[in-house]
Structure 1
Amino acid sequence: MQKVLYVEDNLLNMALMHHLFKKNLPSVQLLKAETGEQGLEIAEQQLPDLIIMDIGLPGMNGYETLECLQRSAGTCDIPVLAISAFAQLSDLAMARDTGFAGYITKPIQVRVFTETVQELLAGAGRLTRN
């Protein structure tokens, strides 16, 4: 069974993602973390196939968390999909330049999100769509 780690501090968004995975990606186990620090710990322990990361996290933000994941031999090859309400072209460019595998803006479009997750889990690597 494939595993996806979702790092999100908003409990409503967390519940929505849980529902979305249960309905659209039932064969994927969803792991959850509320902070970047907790996400790093879970990623090191569980080695998920994909990490979905909110950018605007309290404490260590999504960019800082990604940087730590990239520096670790155990997690450096795990694709990380950014998900954020920040939707300016500069936000998309920064995410791409930083090394995120893709960028989804909130509110998410369920079909696009589901297809993106499926592609990344199938080994598509970096995606260009947002």
Structure 2
Amino acid sequence: MNWTLEVVVVPVTDVERAKEFYSQRLGFNLDHDVSNEPHGPRIVQLTPPGSGCSIVVSDTLTTMTPGSLKGLQLVVNDLRAAHKELQDRGVGVSAVQVYGANGFERASDDTELDNIGFVHFDDPDGNGWSIQQISSRG
């Protein structure tokens, strides 16, 4: 039996603002934007390009406080290109960093990033994301 992670609910204060951030700034695909008002919540589901897991941004589907979700992680095969793309889209993203014995340290331009290279950013509510470079898997 397969157990697949398909959706993560991200708590936000403003669904429209979150939809714009994830679709326009991050480039996530907008899968659904449906509202069952007045009887149910608005459901906005977005998927990162190439991902099998989506997010649902919501101000009602979870008891988590907006901004309290930390540790969401995306994976790319070229971290420097992803970093530049996010900067060009106006996302406040950290410097490219490597993770080692002393925690996160700023990477130099020639640092090898596979498996240890990261950048970090927050959505408008403060939900925390990381992006890791993994070029190939074992």
TM-score, normalising length: structure 1: 0.29
- Larger Rg: 1 or 2? 2
Higher strand share: 2
Higher relative contact order (CA 8 A, sep 6+): 2
TM-score, normalising length: structure 2: 0.28
